[in-house]
Amino acid sequence: MTPTPTNHINRTPKQQTTELQQPQPSAKKTANDFIFGKTLGDGSFSTVYLAKEVHTKKEFAIKVCDKSHIIREKKQQYILREKEALNMLVNDPYFVKLYCTFHDDRKLYFVLTYAKNGDLLQLIKRLGSLDMKLTQYYTCELVIALEALKAKGIIHRDLKPENILLDENFNILITDFGSTKILKQEPLINNTDQSQSEQVPRRRNSFVGTANYVSPELLTDKLTTHACDLWALGCVIYQMLTGKLCFLAGSDHLIFNKILNRQYEYPDNFSNVASDLIDKLLVIEADQRLGASDSVPYASIRNHPFFDDVIWDNIGGMPPSDSLEKVILDKNEEGDEKDCFEKAEPGLNNRQMARLVGLSMDSSESTLIYDGSVESLNLDNNQTKNGKEDKRKNIADLTPIQIETRLSMQRRSSKYHDLVEGNLILKQGLLDKKKGIRPRRRMFLLTLGPHIYYVDPQTMVLKGQIPWTEDLRVEVKHFRKFDIVTPNRTYLLEDPEGYALQWQQDIEDVHEFYFNKKP
């Protein structure tokens, strides 16, 4: 089925300076200049929060990066590259804006544009799939954005719907430049088939990006070029029109095999003109992809029949789709997100972190009662209180009176108390538990007993517990991933905050207490 003819897209051009004209926070800021409202998303070593500047009341998305993780995993160059790419794109539309950065002893902070309408993946899920007009519109915006990246020598390398945000007018804002390659920073390779401007860096032997959108050359150690973003564009167009991933399988290895063999299918009655565009972008040889060899960047993409009715100079304003009206109504019914700032105080200390993850506070000690991924309740940890060092007791040193006191507090303040059969919670945190293709996020609770319970935090239903035996052991894969190995089953877990080593230590301490030896 070919797309239904539409009127020319003829709307008010997007104002490139809209974001830049808004009041910007001073470059010299601290976390105390912002009130942190809720978590918007998280990555391997960072979390993004909705925040409001105290003085201007303006809302931002603040990306908070953990310094220790960055150093331990040698990700300094990722952070520097992301900051440089954002600074290079500050005057371009269709990208999030970096307003300022600052840091403290433990964290780095990136103050970014807050995209009020979520991301493209959320929109696809809400609608099931996008109609032809809306897909065409967003593809136009993506092409213009990719032209800007190419002009500046930036390869995104992780273009996917989750990284395509939507502003208040439902226009795109590309984000997450941690995997970016900036060509001018890399040693170049002379290639007789390329002009000086198209010389490309030699790729390091490492995989970047997301499995479902990665281009074949990134899997086969070939040169990294702007064409890898064109491959991802083809995958995104397919997903917008079908609501499904172009390349999907039970593991990354199987996905990579499908990509390398170009194995994907279209549903019945799929648009011929759309499939032709996708097919010409999803070409194994990078230099053969549509637009890859254009003397005028991506002119051949603009000239494809998929865009026959488009007036490129007039892309902007609200996207031309009636289906967005339902999304807007649904979002209005969800309530005022400003409620997330209620009872919030400036800064990102332990008390505010506890509020953000829904944990309780011990008013007598002003420390976390339960662990959200940073500190444990009873296990060894040094903490400063009123200028003095406070050494928390080891689990073996807890007296029956202390346990009963803490249980009394837990009974009053923890919504998980009954689900753990009244056992004292020593540590809790959200972990991704892998089962099947998609991991499931569960609240894991380490308690006296010993027990490790896991609960669905949305339905508040106990889903099970990991059986303790003398042979139980914890194996850390890297700073986020770890396995709990029991005689009959291995539990594959991932801590989105990156504290796998802390989970290992705490579980081993409890195991040693009960079994008198390290697992």
Q: Provide mean pLDDT across the span 500-519.
A: 81
**Residue 190 — left, alpha, or beta (φ > 0 → left; ψ -120 to 50 → alpha)?**
beta
CA angle 329, 330, 335 (to 5 degrees): 100
Q: Would you kindly state where each structural domain of the chain is located, as residue ranges?
A: 18-190+200-328, 360-515
Q: Provide mean pLDDT across the span 369-391.
A: 34
pLDDT per residue as tens digits for the range 215-256: 999 998 788 899 999 999 999 999 999 999 999 988 888 999
Task: Determine how many CB atoms are found less than 10 A away from the CB of residue 351.
Answer: 16
Q: Provide mean pLDDT across the span 262-273.
A: 96
Structure tokens that stand for 42 in this block: 């998280």
List strand residue ranges (DSSP E) for 294-450, in order. 361-362, 367-368, 382-385, 388-391, 425-434, 439-447
User: In the prediction, which pLDDT does 100 show?
Assistant: 94
- What dotted CATH number matches 360-515? 2.30.29.30
Cross-strand bridge partners of residue 481: 494
In angstroms, rounded to a whole number, what is the distance separating the alpha carbons of residues 72 and 48? 20
Structure tokens that stand for 399 in this block: 């007296």
pLDDT per residue as tens digits for the range 291-338: 999 999 999 999 999 999 999 988 878 887 777 877 776 666 555 566
- What dotted CATH number matches 18-190+200-328? 1.10.510.10
In this model, does residue 113 exceed pLDDT 70? Answer: yes
User: In the prediction, which pLDDT does 436 show?
Assistant: 62
Phi, psi of 32 (to 5 degrees): -70, -10
In angstroms, rounded to a whole number, what is the distance separating the alpha carbons of residues 353 and 441? 19
In this model, does residue 342 exceed pLDDT 60? Answer: yes
User: In the prediction, which pLDDT does 79 show?
Assistant: 92
Whose tokens are 């889903």? That residue is 463
Question: Which tops the pLDDT comparison, 280 or 475?
Answer: 280
Confidence of residue 74 (pLDDT cuts 50, 70, 90): confident
Instruction: Indicate which residues carry an active-site annotation.
Output: 158
In this model, does residue 390 exceed pLDDT 50? Answer: no
In angstroms, rounded to a whole number, what is the distance separating the alpha carbons of residues 41 and 479? 18
Averaged pLDDT score across all residues of the chain? 80
> Could you give the C-alpha distances from 108 to 102, 499, 504, in angstroms and in order?
6, 17, 26
In this model, does residue 381 exceed pLDDT 90? Answer: no
